[in-house]
Chains A and B, each alone.
Chain A
């Protein structure tokens, strides 16, 4: 890599909320900008160049033309980071995967539907090799900064493979199950410094499942608490509708 590594940000089907999180880094951003050069970032700068080293790819792949573009990014980038739930697991976009595609297109584009072909949402790793996944809807600022520091220093960044419960315990939160609520934190990948349970809300799984989630046990526990199979599946497909273990339950 040249003196200053070049970063680029790209967006596919997404709300661009993850890019916004980068801008929200404010204080740290100044220090970060000293160490890198940003050559493509629609949310923040007008300049666009294609000589990037690290590409942050936000959004899921839902259109034929996205495929070509994401492959091109892969070819140019030395490191490709899937950025946010849409990109790492399909995210909110994958809710449409469980509905008739024509109906979805019609709902969004009306009589223009034929002009905008789209298909069920796919995470980026379905199409190209992904070097690092930064999960979450939106991504966590602190995780993003940690990952940047590691990438720049040539150090390995380890994405947590333990559930939200771990960080919930570190924060000494009262478990929501003890309060008669439910929570997907037992099978959801940590890294968010348990935003939701800390503020009394159930984890809805925006960071996707851990590597070996005990999904059966989760369904059992939730059904024991009176939820129907349909309700449980709905909780899980809010973000992780592309996950094999979940789609198999569907």
Chain B
């Protein structure tokens, strides 16, 4: 399908029109610091003017619309014939402004939640969601290492992809559903100058990203393999709080915990799912009180092995998209680029 051009001045009206039919979620300002720094989150809008398409990165990724931080899976009652009723989120949703790394992460989660056991709650949300991507010309900030992970370009995983060409967005149409969405916008055909501007954007983009990990990341699985007993794990383990923040903000982490919550009548209740973290003290505890990953160092090693080795082996792509959310949120300043660099250097 041929691309279209959407003037920026008409973008808000487009998003507002979508909000009449879908739940539209996109980047918004969460907080402004006294020093002027801004923090963004994905959130629902009814007025497209609230979207901040100039955002750099959000606290949580759009993953929260597929695997919410907390959700109710079912409602049950134990009176008479015990009954359970599944709770499904069937809202039609449009995710606006997802960056390539977050789109890449969604691809991975789709694999995870549809391989072997198909997760109905995840899939119900995912199948009803449309993604309007937004390409980025430079890294979000100095923490990002998406270029090392090869996730700053995506070929698929979106319905529409917008590129900033100055006064307008160059909109690639990837699916028919995307085309139907775009019909709600006042667009025009893309002309030669628009294609040229898009090309100029891509060239700027190529110059805008730099590798930060000294070794080619395709070797990380083997490098990690060799590092199993490295003292680096011990050293960063001493600084780690096991607070779980790194996992909880990660767009590719998918562990969760399930608990039953009683209502006050004590005969009915809900089954709740909450995202979990492999860095927490009790994560690997099993009945009887044993924990098979008691040391902070082994928990940390496990996280890095998941991100750059195990997932790659299981699904054929890296488990880390280099968004840097884990690093930005680590109070102990444990840093992925630094860790991979040290590990590669300590062999």
Which residues of A does B touch, CB under 8 Å? 28, 31-32, 35, 145-146, 149-150, 152-153, 155, 161-163, 165-166, 168-170, 172-175, 177-179, 183, 185-187, 210-214, 216-218, 220-221
Contacts and interface: CB of A to CB of B under 8 A. Distances in A.
Interface in B266-285: 266, 274-275, 277, 280-282
Nearest to B294: A212
Contacts of A179: 33
A166 B266 contact: no
Interface stretch (B97-105, B128-136, B146-154, B241-249): B241-249
Contacts of A146: 261
A67 to B, nearest CB: 31
Contacts of A185: 243
B45 to A, nearest CB: 16
Nearest to A176: B331
Q: Which 10 A-B residue pairings sit nearest by Cβ, starting from the closest?
A: A169-B248, A165-B243, A31-B264, A186-B241, A149-B262, A170-B69, A162-B280, A174-B39, A163-B243, A153-B266
B331 A166 contact: no
A73 B60 CA distance: 48
B240 interface: yes
B167 to A, nearest CB: 32
B277 A170 contact: no
Given A183-B331, A186-B241, 9 more contacts: A28-B264, A31-B265, A155-B262, A169-B60, A170-B70, A172-B41, A174-B31, A214-B239, A217-B241
B59 interface: yes
A229 B70 CA distance: 38
A160 to B, nearest CB: 9
Contacts of A170: 69-70, 248, 274-275
A214 to B, nearest CB: 5
A interface secondary structure, majority: helix
A145 B262 CA distance: 10
Nearest to A220: B239
B244 A169 contact: yes
A240 to B, nearest CB: 16
Nearest to B33: A179
B281 A212 contact: yes
B240 A35 contact: no
A163 B41 contact: no
Range of interface residues on B (Cβ < 8 Å): 35 or more
A232 to B, nearest CB: 14
A149 B266 contact: yes
A93 B243 CA distance: 28
Contacts of A155: 262
Given A162-B244, A179-B33, A217-B332, A172 B266 contact: no
A165 B262 contact: no
Contacts of B274: 170
9 contacts: A31-B264, A149-B262, A165-B243, A169-B60, A186-B241, A214-B241, A214-B242, A214-B296, A216-B238
B211 interface: no
A145 B41 CA distance: 32
Contacts of B331: 165, 175, 177, 183, 186, 221
Interface in B42-81: 59-60, 64, 69-70
A149 B60 CA distance: 33
A32 B275 contact: no
B339 interface: no
A150 B241 CA distance: 30
B241 A153 contact: no
A149 B59 CA distance: 34
Contacts of B31: 174
